[in-house]
Amino acid sequence: MTVKTRFAPSPTGYLHIGGVRTALFSWAFARKHKGEFLLRIEDTDLVRSTAESVNIILDGMDWVGLNYDNAGNVVYQTRRFDRYKEVIAELLEKGAAYYCYCSKEELEAMREKAEKEGTATYDRRWRPEAGKTLPPVPEGIEPVVRFKTPTEGVTRWHDLVKGEISIPNEALDDLIIARADGTPTYNFCVVVDDFDMGVTHVIRGDDHVNNTPKQINILQAMGAKLPEYAHLPMILNEQGKKISKRSGDTVAITDFGAMGILPEAMLNYLARLGWAHGDDEFFTMEQFIQWFDLKDVSPSPSRMDLKKLYWINAEHIKAMPSEKLAELIAPRLAVRGINDTAKPALEEVLALVKDRAQDLNALADECLYFYEKQTPAEADVQKHWDDEASARMLRFADKLEALTEWSADAIHELFKSFCDEEGIKMGKLGMPLRLAVCGTAKTPSVDAVLALIGKEEVLRRVRA
């Protein structure tokens, strides 16, 4: 059997971080088992679904790098209405579904009664049964189609995350599978899609646990082999509440991109939300695929921890080859007004500073002074600059000018001998020098920084 999993987002505005975690686990499971990972767009809610949000989802999947195997043939529910109608007709034909002509008022009365008695809402008035006479078909009412849910026994499945789950069938309604206008309902579409796509493992958020018994019963009526189910617990925010845009949480995957999070760090972080492999925190997706098993997914919710996300991001930034990092930083420098990053070469700058930032925006800021002297903070000037420092800086500039070899080592040697000559500690020269050249006191080793900025530019800045 080829393992087939799917990710089935509803395109209602943005790609939710919880959705990405679900997609990640489905993807890893498929990849681990050399199976297929499929994408399906659940766009039957015509009011809330827009083409723009579909693109946001596709772009988001692209950005994180979760590749799906039906890229040329993504399943859109809105393109499958004929197929849903066909299955509805089959179920009617088999007697597994039936028309129901109840009016709004009748349904309302049933709901009230059921609430009082704690039973299933619909009283199965139109359900055909041996020896039962159905009410006369009323005029002017377009019927809905209801599914004939078994009334006895229990529906159970062994959830690959949550364990044994069972629900007595008497607690389930004869759910509507087609509305009066003929359009199919949510749970029904999901069932037909999972069946047609040959999904073997339904991995999704645990907000769908209540839908599963309904879906299992329909699949059984269709004579389908049941898939395995794995329901993933929610992601909570740092306060332990359900993560949501409304509470001010960052939830859209693109917002994390804008925060300067690397896609590989995002996935690494999300992998650890509800899953663990010993104490491993920093890993690649190759390792994750190798290690991943649904039985290691925790059944209880996990909490966002932005500090940890930034820490993992910093590790991925450090591990990334500088040439690749340069491609991500160059556009961020352009936004900051630096368009020419050839001198010094951005890769070399990054090799020196990439362990100093936790996100790509901070890293871009860290590169700025290599290209343009920054305006020093008043407090730094107060602390490190005075007439003495100024005069000393000019003396040091003359020595720098006389250097025949412009390298970090040569600058370092000169720096040391100059401090000896002047009878000062190295910091007494280093800090004002940083301010004079970079405009900030926070830089890596000053000799390496000067070496990269280049002799001519350094002299120009120091003398200015």
Out of 23, 24, 38, 42, name the contact with ligand GLU by CB under 6 A: 42
CB of 15 or CB of 363, closer to ligand GLU: 15
CB of 19 or CB of 376, closer to ligand GLU: 19
Site for ligand GLU in 198-227 (CB under 6 A): 204-205, 208
Out of 5, 10, 44, 358, name the contact with ligand GLU by CB under 6 A: 10
Taking CB under 6 A as the binding criterion, the range among 3-11, 360-368, 392-400, 432-440 that sits at the site for ligand GLU is: 3-11
Number of chain positions touching ligand GLU (CB under 6 A): 8
Active site residue 245: yes
Q: Could you say whether residue 8 binds ligand GLU (CB under 6 A)? A: yes
Site for ligand GLU in 356-375 (CB under 6 A): none
Give me the least distance between CB of 202 and ligand GLU, in Å please: 6
Q: Could you say whether residue 31 binds ligand GLU (CB under 6 A)? A: no
Give me the least distance between CB of 7 and ligand GLU, in Å please: 7
Q: Could you say whether residue 49 binds ligand GLU (CB under 6 A)? A: no
3-state per-residue secondary structure call for the chain:
CCCEEEECCCCCCCCEHHHHHHHHHHHHHHHHCCCEEEEEECCCCCCCCCHHHHHHHHHHHHHHCCCCCCHHHCEEHHHCHHHHHHHHHHHHHHCCEEEECCCHHHHHHHHHHHHHHCCCCCCCCCCCCCCCCCCCCCCCCCCEEEECCCCCCEEEEEECCCEEEEEEHHHCCCCEEECCCCCECHHHHHHHHHHHHCCCEEEEEHHHHHHHHHHHHHHHHCCCCCCEEEEECCEECCCCCECCCCCCCCCEHHHHHHCCCCHHHHHHHHHCCCECCCCCCCCCHHHHHHHCCHHHECCCCEECCHHHHHHHHHHHHHHCCHHHHHHHHHHHHHHCCCCCCCCCCHHHHHHHHHHHCCCHHHHHHHHHHHHCCCCCCHHHHHHHCCHHHHHHHHHHHHHHHHCCCCCHHHHHHHHHHHHHHHCCCHHHHHHHHHHHHCCCCCCCCHHHHHHHHCHHHHHHHHHC
Q: Could you say whether residue 9 binds ligand GLU (CB under 6 A)? A: yes
Give me the least distance between CB of 327 and ligand GLU, in Å please: 33
Of all residues in this chain, which one has the CB nearest to ligand GLU in the complex? 204
Q: Could you say whether residue 43 binds ligand GLU (CB under 6 A)? A: no
Give me the least distance between CB of 208 and ligand GLU, in Å please: 5
Catalytic residue among 241, 245, 307, 416: 245
**Residue 318 annotated as binding site:** no
**Known catalytic residues?**
245
* Residues engaged in binding ligand GLU (CB under 6 A): 8-10, 42, 190, 204-205, 208
Binding site as annotated, residues for ATP = 245
